[in-house]
Amino acid sequence: MDLPVKKRMLVPLNNPRRPTFGTRFVTAILRAVFVPLGFVLGNLYKLCFGWWLDKRLAKRDHERLERDIRNHLAFLFSECSAEIVPDQGFDSPPPFDYAGVTLALGSVRLRFVRGRGDLNVSVASAFAPDCWEDLRLVADGFAKWETTRPVPYSYSLDNMESILRPRLATLQTALSKENFEKTLQQAVVTHNQAVDAYAARLNRAGIVPKFY
């Protein structure tokens, strides 16, 4: 499948004041001491305990997220025959307290990723299971990418049923075998338009973003 190139942007943290010599000297000393120490202790922890503890915590976080999804989005299982499927694109074990659960229902794949207090919801087609896009870029009528805010809208399982239920039929059609390529192409176009609009606002404010 031939998709447009997705634009990605870095916003530089402008700091016009150069640190003093004393600050740079102290920073260099601390870095010389603590970076090697952190490397040694981090690897020692992974060697002795990390492999066991990380997997245990990851299993706990995954089961908690799966349980919350079943509780908040029970209709997906009872009415839409949703199934939890393995997600090959998710790191195992994931970093920090992140956990991911992927659902398959018809032509739609839904991926819920929760960690550090945030919930992200992505969608893919069964006919392109590796091409994930933010739900808002694909679902017709659902809060298009908010170009007036630098931080994307946050999802919540508390209101996710009210978001998904009226739009599932649209998603099934948009991600069907006949339409999924056009839908994913349009999602990239919408994303790039939003990035360009945000970059233009930054330029007007005197901040020059970098694209990669």
In total, how many domains does the chain have?
A: 1
* Position 11 in a domain: no
* Position 10 in a domain: no
Domain that holds residue 76: 21-211
State residue 47's pLDDT score.
61
Q: What are 98-154's pLDDT values in tens digits?
A: 889 999 999 999 999 998 888 999 999 999 998 999 888 887 555 444 444 444 456
* Position 6 in a domain: no
One-letter amino acid identity for 128? A
pTM of the model: 0.74
C-beta separation of 1 from 182 below 8 A: no
* Position 8 in a domain: no
* φ, ψ at 103 (rounded to 5°): -110, 145
Residue 186 CB neighbour total at 10 angstroms = 17
State residue 151's pLDDT score.
42
* Position 4 in a domain: no
What is the number of H-type helices and E-type strands within the chain? 7, 7
